[in-house]
Structure formats: structure tokens, C-alpha cells
Structure 1
Amino acid sequence: MAESKAAASLEMNAVNGGGVGFDPSMWRDFFVTYAPPLSQGVEERMRARAERLTGEVRRKMFGTGGEGGVTMRVAEAATLVDTLERLGLDGHFQREIGVVLGRLRYTEADFAGSEDDLHTVALRFRLLRQHGLSVSTDVFDKFRDGTDSFRSSLRNNPRGLLSLYNAAHMATPGEITLDDAVVFARCHLEAMSMKGELKSPLAEQVSRALDIPLPRFPRRLETMNYLAEYEQEDEHDRVLLELARLDFELARSLHLKELKALSLWWRELYESVKLSYARDRLVESYFWTCGVFHEEKYSRARIMFAKVFGLLSLMDDTYDVHATLEECYKLNEAIQRWDEGAVSILPKYLRMFYLQLLSNFDELEDSLEPHEKYRVSYAKNAFKISSEYYLREAKWSNNKYTPSFAEHLEVSVMSSGFPMLAPVVLMGVHDREGVATEEAFKWATSIPDVVTASGEVARFLNDIASHNVGKNDKDVMSSVECYMAEHGVGEEAALVAVAALAEHGWRTINRAFMEMGSGLLPAALLIVNLTRTLEVIYLGGRDGYTFGGDIKGLIISLFLDPVAVMRI
């Protein structure tokens, strides 16, 4: 089997190399030498088949003009949008989905509130909010009893409960109704799971949601799982399923080519800078990248993002685990100057990294069209800002300083990387997508609520993980430790409080999504996708980026395991 061969090969790779304090990369040159399963001829025939099927789906499900949403009933329309999104096909039908959502927005399900209707009402609610469209929690009143609690009869409706649970995670701060919905649905879903009352594929979907609710689950991973689950549904559409499998495999073929090119780039970079203390995590960072944008049209954006992510990681580890405070000052000074002449102020071991940093940014600028080159200045400025905040943390660590929780948050949200990565996410997106506008870059670098809240989620999940797995000697105090010191509580209470703050961050993201203009939603969605992948990286208090073995199985499944597609 492909998985066992890949696993065996990886065991051979996971020897030698890597940095002091961090495990070596288990991938090494695996993706440099790996031979993708699709030949050029097969891929061309698959692509031609996918194009024919796309047209067939458009005619069959939306009508000739893509206006099928006008005649669909609410349940049918909501199910179609959900299916296309979970199968990863929504990018092919954006205009048609917009028509359907427009109808869903102004047409509520005409139900009396029976148990069977809960699924449709909750599904409509979640879809609208995920697309930045406001919808009131009043739609759930019909499912509550005279005591304002959810009706006990709903506990026997697992499909409806799962939809309610996922919908409730689109809550904004202070929405008590949705707090109640999460507790109610989770309680009964967990009970049914423990008793073995759920059948496949619902059992797998419930298990996944209890770990990470659907609105926070990376879309590419959901598609990977849902391809097999959709086939088990009695009313699945065979044409849609075939198209989804072809689309997944074609995108994966491109991902493997990108992984090879990036692995070669990283090997040359990592070996030339000789920062053996830094994490060797190219494959893990690319996994994260595919959680942000997986579609073929984002190839340039993925490559640019992955490269900057790698450079930022090298700088982060230099400040965090190796450099003296004096060296941190010098590194920051050089980065603020951003000029080759500044290399002389650096210690010798950092000079090659600095030159590579400048050289790679020049290459990124060269890969952009003339009217796009302004974007690099946004990324450079964000990189400089990150360096400033890394230096502030280095000073705290060197001086054994314990900041207040608020002071810690002010700095650590910025050092989380999200404020820096917000413009980098947009840097390689082509103009024709209508995503990376100059307005979007100005928005991203103004540190809006979506970016701030994403940084909070990143900081809190990272600190919970670092508290579980242990810290480096030079690490600054975490938000968990600052909370313990400021509030005089133990580890357990602090971990619960910080997890609650991460939850609040997600709710702030939800609110911001419904309040922002539609022109910025596509850019904001990429930031949210970056945040979704955090939930997997840090699931259960692990750190899948630092300790790559924790997500090895996911990477094998996403990039290497076979997908059942028709070979033309």
C-alpha cells in the first residue's frame, strides 16, 4: 500500500540532521525523490474529464444560467452549497453559490420546529454566517421549550444535533442561546458516541466535530475525509463525487510538484545558513499553507507564503532559542535597515541568513507583475515589525521579567506571526481573483479585528501546547504562566481560562466577518483559513509544527494516500 511504503521510507529519512533542541525533519529529501503517481498524459485526460463534468454539474444542479437557486427549496439549496464546499468544489461555482446564498438569506425554512427540521435551520444559519451574512439566533427559538431550554426530544436526532453544534460555533461574543446550544448538543452527541449508537459516516463526522467543529476545521482536510463519507450517503450524486475526486487528485498532483520545488529550495537555504538550532520543518509549513489555500489557482501564492513562513521560522528560532541579547539587538538593527551593508554589524553565524533573507525577498518581488510589486513592501514592513516584537520578548527573557497578562498579550499577539503573515497570505494571489486588492493590503496591515483575534487564538493555543510539552530555557513566560501569576491560580484553572480566551477569539472573528464589507471578505477568509489550521496543529495541546511526528499521519493522508478516482 502507498501508506506503508511512504511510512517505511520516512523511517529511513528520520535520521541525522536537524537542530539542537529540536527533532530532525523526518521528511528530509522524501519529496525531492518521490515520484508522483500521475503521468502527464493521465493528468491531461483527467483534467479534460473534470472540465466536462464541471459543465454537467452546472447544468444539472443550477440550470443553464446558473440560477437554479431561484427554484430550489431551502433544504435542497442549503444542502447543495454545503456539499459543494465540503467536497472542495465551491471554487468552480462561486457565482452560482452566490445566487443560492442570496435566496437563503431572505428565505427562512418554513417549518413548525419539528425535530427533523433542526438540521436544515442550523445548516442555513451556519452557511450564511460563514459567508459573512448576518442571521439572528431567533431561528432556534422554535426548538426551545417553555423553560427556554432546548427540547429534550431533540436528543434523539443526531443529524440535527450535529448541525446545531456546528452552527453554534458561529457565535459572536455574548450570544447565550448558542452557548446553550453547544453544551446541549455536545452532551448528547458524546453520549451517543460512547454508547456506539451512531452509524457511519455520521459517527466519524461527530467524532471529528467534537475535536474541532466544522467551521474551524481546515477545508482541505474536510474534503479528504468527506470524499469517502459522501459516497456512503444514500442520495449521493455520482457525477459530483467523480468530479470531486478528480479535482482533489489534480490539485494534489500540483501540491506534490510544489513540495518538490520547495524542498529543493529549503535544502539549499537550510544548509547554507547553517542555523542548526532552528527547526527544519518545510513539509509541516507547506501542510499549513495548503490549509490556507489549496486550489490550483493559488499555486504562486502557496510558494511565496511557504518561503516567507520558512524565513520567519528561522528568525523566530534565532531570537527564541539561540541568540544572546546583544546579538538580538544587532539582528533587529540589520533587519530594520534591510540593506546588504548592514551585514557587517551581525555576528558571523547570522550573516548568511541575513543575505539569504534579502535575496529571497528580491526573488519574490521579481516573481510578481510590475503592477503587483508594491505588495512586497507590505511584507517587508510586517517582517520588520515581527523582529521588533521578537526583540521585546528576548529582553523579557534575558531580564527574567514577568509582564502583566495584558502587557504579555499586547506583545505576544504581534509575535504570534499572524499580523506579519496577513499581508504575506495575499502577496502571491493573482489580481484576477479580486482578493489581493490594494485595499485588502491596507486592511490587513492595519491589524483589524480578524487579524488580532486570529493572533490571540494562535497565541493561546501555542501557549497551551508549550505548557503541555515543555519550554526552551530561553522562552519568555507564556500567557498561561502570566495568568497564573497575576490571578494566583493553579495550572488547571489557568489552562481553562486561556482556552476560554481562545474561544472568545473565534467569536470575535465571527462577529468581524458579519460586520465587514463584502469586498474584504475573500481576503479575510484566507486569514481565517490560516487560523483553522492552527486547530489541527495544536489539537489536544500538541505542537505539530515543532514536533512534526504529531501530524505525520495527516501529511501522509493528505499528500500520499491513494484517492479512488477513475483513471482515464
Structure 2
Amino acid sequence: MALLSVSPLVFPKLLRKPYASDQSSMVLNSCSKDAVQRKKALRPTKSINAILITHQPGLTRRIGNHHPNLWDDGFLQSLEMPYEGPPYVERSKALVREVKEMFNAVLTKQSGDDLFQCLSMVDNVERLGIERHFQEEIKLTLDHVYRYWNKKGIAAGRNSSISDLNTTVLGFRIFRLHRYNVSSDALESFKGKDGKFLKSSTQSKEEIQSIINLFRASLIAFPNEKVMDEAKSFSTKYLKQALQNIDDSNLSREIEFNLEYGWHTNVPRLEARHYIEIYGEDSSWAEKTIKGMPHLSNTKVLELAKLDFNMMQCMQQRELQILSRWWVESGLSKLEFARHRHVEYYFWAAGGVIEPKYFAFRIGFAKLSALITYLDDIYDTYGTYEELQLFTEAIKKWDPLATEGLPEYMKIAYIAFYDGVKDMVKEAQITQGRDTFDYVKNAWEVYIDSYMQEAKWLVEGYIPTLEEYLENGKVSSGSRVVTLQPVLAIDAILPENILPEIDYPSKFDELLCLTLRVKGDTRTFEVEADRGEIVSCITCYMRDHPGSTKEEAINHLTALCDELLKELNWEYLKPDNVPPISKDCAYAVSRGLQLLYKERDGFSVASKDTKNHIIKTMIEPFPI
């Protein structure tokens, strides 16, 4: 199955695919008796009401009952983008200079909690989404604080030798995410014999903030870190109880946000929007000044955050206009049977990859992800088996003339696909200094082959084991092909000896693909099953474990995904030869996916949470 329905395997879909009636009977009759029995056991009991049938002369096609494009091209082209003007640019530069003064001030001032203040300064600008302006200052600050780190953590101030829980867990999280060498063993020193991280609880604002930071730290876990699991369990329970007792609305909102979005589903643009709103209403935070320097207050940080957010929004809106024009001019808007989700895919990329210079990554990722969804809907529902064979052969010729003999809808999709891949090859040529077409062509062909493997399973009436399904499904998820070319287009050189450390056959790439597949299946299973699309991680697990229930399968796969994400954390943050920005961009894809599949298939059903996220982060500016 292709990316972005991240839906279950192709073959049960093709089983109901609209062949001519005599051919359909032939395929059905080719299934073994045992396979038919297995299908009956796994078939949903609900009526299949999510598929529309369209009849053409001599042919019946299935069409997924997807809602239309939510973002009218006329609306996107009408966006005005006022915050690009010179007055805002100049004000932003002035505020950046003042916040840099604040960094220098907290770095040089000595007090009882100077180390904590340094870490808080870094944490604030990162939460508020403005850290790209202060990379040098952040590095100097963290290098300074790291000198005081020891196996028991760190004190709140440089002149103290007593480790502080809040400073330690805040530092641990920031240091680990910046790839400093810190061990989770430091958390052990705060744990009592009863397993709790507090000797007694006052539920004061300061204590609650410590446990919020403990919770945030516990999510940046590597495999086999028992103390991180214990910290997560303790802090989750504590914060849920605290919500019932505290009156501070801003603190409550902070707890609720962290519990809801955690780390893997918390993309930077969404986090920035949320914390700007919280800090904007928290006068005790906004008015706080640096001792002896009353002109340096958090109001400066907040003003910069709001202005920068609006300016980045203007950039995103301009890029959305480019993307929407491409969508119309490519003819893809004419494919009425398919999901039109180019804006949602742009949000996926832009939610985590913010730097203005990474335009090619954002646009390229959005285009390729949209294209892969058109392929998904062609292979899964609309195309006949014969058409899919012809389409696959045409793709492997890599020639626009290969569209001869294809139906019109496939010609549109093929040309858009061919041009999209070639355009990204040109972008990669600029940054990598070499032609990467043969490399990416192979990746795309392996991906298309995974579709046809699933079609072959259909013809054979074969329900795979979970292991077989995941081996093919991590390819057909499409994660590799939509990430590879955009990563090659950023300003980080990936020579052929380094590329396999982030791309296939690296563990990093495998985990990106597997988490996509497993997470997606646990969210799309019900809807897909209603459409008669039987095979998924869930049903393959149930096939491997006769007598198991759907709930048991989902629980197993959810736990599996949690462990895979820990492994992915390690592969992302471990020291290696891959340029960090390349991993950052690829990892941002994983976090965006986890967000958009947090409750449901946020691509197929984009009219709920996803639409709201887009409005909040890319359409609605802050009043200034």
C-alpha cells in the first residue's frame, strides 16, 4: 500500500477491484479454499458503505468516498501576507539583537539558579519557535552548562553541588536533543525506594513545573532505559492528578498540551502557536526581567515570537500559492476519484522544517506525497488490474512517451509523477553536485514493485504473516521515496558512502518506514475494514495468533510502535557521519506523521483536526 492512506495491504482491495465481470470471477475462483476461509474469518461484519461505484461501458470502477479538496486555489491565491514588509523585518532584526543580549546576560550572571536560567532561556526560544536566530548563542550556553553536568545530573546554580530535579530533567532533555552525551542514569538519583521521584508532594507551581519537565524528558527515551519508563509512568499519573486540583489556567493548559501531544506528535509550528498563546496570557512570565537589566524582559522574547510566527506564516502562504498553482496546472485537480491533499502534505513538511532556505524540501515533499496518494488511489481502488500492469511498465520506462495506450487519468498522473521526480533530481544536482537520478529511480521502482507484490498476493489468495506484511509494507508505506529526494535537496552533502546511513538500508530508514506503517494501520483499520480492505497489521497479527481479538492486536501493535519509536530516537540522535540537518528533516517527517495519525487518518479525513492545525499554524496570524 502506498503512503498516505498508510492503509492495509493492496490485495483485499484488488479483490473487490472493478475487473470486467468474467475476469473477476476468474480471480476469485483462483483463490484456494483455505484462503477463502481465512478471508471469511477476517471479514468485517459492518456493511461496506464507504465505497461509491461508478459505471462505465463494460467496466465498473470503485471510488473511495473521500471528501474533496478543502483549500480552494482562489482562496490561497488571495492571501495577502502583510508581515513581509520592511517595518516588520527591521523590527524583527532589532528584537533578535535584544534577545541575544538576554542570552549573554544569563550566561554571565551568577545566582543561585544561574544554570537553570540558562537552560530555561534555551527552552523558551525553542518552544516559541525562534531558535534558528540563536544557534550560536544556544551552543555557547549549552557548552557552558554541560561543564557542570555529572552522573547525578546538575545543580540549579554553578556554585551548588546538590543536584536539582527540575534543572536535571530540563537539562537532560535539551542536551540529549542537541546530541550531548548524557545518561538516563542521572534520573536514578532522584528516585526513592518507592519508585517515586518526589519524597513528598506539595503540588506547588514549582513542583508541578518540575514534573512537567520530568515528563517531557521521559519521552526522549532510548531502548532499554527502564528509568525513563518509570519517569513517564510517575509523571503522567502525577500530572493527571494535578489537573484536578490547580487553579492556574496557564499551567493547566501547559499540562494538557504536553499530555496530549507529548514529543512524537508535537511538531514545532504547533508547539510554537500553543506556547505563544500560553506565555502571552501569563503576565508573571512575560514581565520577568533579568536582574539588573530591566530593559531585557520576556516581553521582548514574546514579541519576537509573535512577529516571527507571522512572518513565517507569510512565507508558508507564498509557498502554498506555488504548490496550489502546480496542482491546478498539472491537471491533478481533474482526478475526481482521488484524494486532493497537497495542502495537508505541505503542512506535514512545514510543521517541522521551518528554515526559509529549505523551500525545496517543503515543496518537494508536499508534491511527492501528493503524487504518491494519487498512485495509492489508482492502485487501491480506481484502476483495473490490466491498467495497473501497464501503468507499472510505463513508470519503469521513465519516458513521457510511455503513456501511449494508458487511459487519460493515468496519463495525467504519470506525467505529473515523472515531472515531479525529475524536478527533484534537478534540485539535488544543485546541492549534491552530482546526478542522483539512477539512485532515486531504483528507489521508486522498488516501491512500485511492492504494490505489485501485494497484487500477486491477491491473485494467489494469500494472506501474509505479519512478518511478511511488514517486510513489504515498510516499502509500500512510501516513507522512503517521499523523504529521500527532499533530503537530497537540502544544503547538506550526502556522498554515496554516507547516504546509506540515512537512506536504505540503514536502520534509521527502516524505522521511519515501519513506524509509518504500524501507526497508520492502527488508525485506519476500522475505516478500511468497512470498505472491505481486510488485510492490515491487525488482521495479519490475528492470522498469526488464532483466537486473538482485534483489541489484543491493536494493543500489541501500539506497544510495538512505542518500542520502534525509542529505537528511532537512538538512530536519530546517535553520533555518526550523517549531517545532523539531514536527520532533522527526515525525523520531522516521522513526528508529523505521528501527529496526523494521532486520532485517525488525518489525510483521508483532513476536515477535522488537520484542518484546524493548518488554520492555526499557516492561516491565522497573531494580532500585533
Q: Do Structure 1 and Structure 2 share a fold, with TM-score over 0.5?
A: yes
Q: 2:189 aligns with which of 142, 152, 177?
A: 142
Match of 1:161 in 2: 211
Distance 1:208 1:476, change over 3 A: same
Distance 1:398 1:230, change over 3 A: farther
Q: Report the structure, 1 or 2, having the larger helix content.
A: 1
Match of 1:326 in 2: 386
Contact 1:365–1:373 (Cα < 8 Å) also in 2: no
Match of 2:95 in 1: 53
| SS state at 1:330 partner | helix
Contact 2:264–2:595 (Cα < 8 Å) also in 1: no
Range moving further from structure 2, 495-504 or 313-322: 313-322
1:317 pairs with 2:377: yes
- Distance in 2 of aligned mates of 1:209 and 1:403: 38
Q: TM-score, normalised by structure 2?
A: 0.79
- Distance in 1 of aligned mates of 2:380 and 2:316: 31
Specify the code of the residue in structure 2 equivalent to 1:121. Answer: T
Question: How many positions carry a matched residue from both structures?
Answer: 538
Specify the code of the residue in structure 1 equivalent to 2:372. Answer: L
1:366 is displaced (CA, Å) by 4.7
Match of 1:214 in 2: 263
| SS state at 2:249 partner | coil
1:345-494 paired onto structure 2 within 5 Å: 346-366=406-426, 370=430, 372=433, 374-429=435-490, 431=491, 434=492, 441-471=499-529, 473=531, 475=533, 477-488=535-546, 489-494=548-553
| SS state at 1:235 partner | helix
Specify the code of the residue in structure 2 equivalent to 1:142. Answer: S
- Distance in 2 of aligned mates of 1:262 and 1:425: 15
1:258 is displaced (CA, Å) by 1.1
Distance 1:329 1:200, change over 3 A: same
Specify the code of the residue in structure 1 equivalent to 2:544. Answer: E
| SS state at 2:613 partner | helix
Specify the code of the residue in structure 1 equivalent to 2:538. Answer: V
Contact 2:466–2:540 (Cα < 8 Å) also in 1: yes
1:98 is displaced (CA, Å) by 1.8
Give a deviation string over 1:492-537, Cα, whole Å, max 9, x none.
Answer: 1111111111111110012223423265322111121111112221
Specify the code of the residue in structure 1 equivalent to 2:371. Answer: L
1:93 pairs with 2:134: yes
| SS state at 1:153 partner | coil
1:163-178 paired onto structure 2 within 5 Å: 163-178=213-228
| SS state at 1:548 partner | coil
- Distance in 1 of aligned mates of 2:545 and 2:269: 40
Specify the code of the residue in structure 2 equivalent to 1:510. Answer: N
1:62 is displaced (CA, Å) by 2.6
1:528 pairs with 2:570: no
Distance 1:146 1:319, change over 3 A: same
Distance 1:53 1:481, change over 3 A: same
Relative CO higher for 1 or 2, CA cutoff 8 Å, sep ≥ 6?
2
- Distance in 1 of aligned mates of 2:618 and 2:368: 22
- Distance in 2 of aligned mates of 1:340 and 1:326: 20
| SS state at 2:502 partner | helix
Give structure 1 stretches of 5+ with no counterpart: 1-18
Give a deviation string over 1:143-201, Cα, whole Å, max 9, x none.
Answer: 211344434525833212111111111111111111111111111211222x2525232
1:69-148 paired onto structure 2 within 5 Å: 73-108=114-149, 109-110=154-155, 117-148=164-195
- Distance in 2 of aligned mates of 1:266 and 1:289: 17
Give a deviation string over 1:52-88, Cα, whole Å, max 9, x none.
Answer: 221222233236xx97699993212211111111111
1:331 is displaced (CA, Å) by 2.1
Distance 1:47 1:344, change over 3 A: same
1:39 is displaced (CA, Å) by 6.6
1:278 is displaced (CA, Å) by 1.6
- Distance in 2 of aligned mates of 1:383 and 1:68: 53
Q: 1:286 aligns with which of 329, 346, 366?
A: 346
1:24 pairs with 2:75: no
- Distance in 2 of aligned mates of 1:471 and 1:375: 39
Match of 1:249 in 2: 310
| SS state at 1:445 partner | coil
| SS state at 1:184 partner | helix
Contact 2:103–2:137 (Cα < 8 Å) also in 1: no
| SS state at 2:330 partner | helix
Contact 1:340–1:355 (Cα < 8 Å) also in 2: yes
Give a deviation string over 1:437-474, Cα, whole Å, max 9, x none.
Answer: 66664433234222222222211221011123334757
1:398 is displaced (CA, Å) by 4.6
Match of 1:229 in 2: 278
Match of 2:395 in 1: 335
Mark the structure with the bigger radius of gyration: 2
Contact 2:169–2:217 (Cα < 8 Å) also in 1: yes
- Distance in 1 of aligned mates of 2:226 and 2:307: 43
1:180 pairs with 2:224: no
Contact 1:279–1:546 (Cα < 8 Å) also in 2: yes
Contact 2:267–2:588 (Cα < 8 Å) also in 1: yes
Specify the code of the residue in structure 2 equivalent to 1:484. Answer: M
Distance 1:268 1:91, change over 3 A: same
Give structure 2 stretches of 5+ with no counterpart: 1-62, 287-297
Match of 1:14 in 2: none
Distance 1:111 1:263, change over 3 A: closer
Q: Percentage identity across aligned positions?
A: 27
- Distance in 2 of aligned mates of 1:325 and 1:481: 24
- Distance in 2 of aligned mates of 1:313 and 1:46: 38
Distance 1:516 1:317, change over 3 A: farther
Q: TM-score, normalised by structure 1?
A: 0.87
- Distance in 2 of aligned mates of 1:154 and 1:133: 31
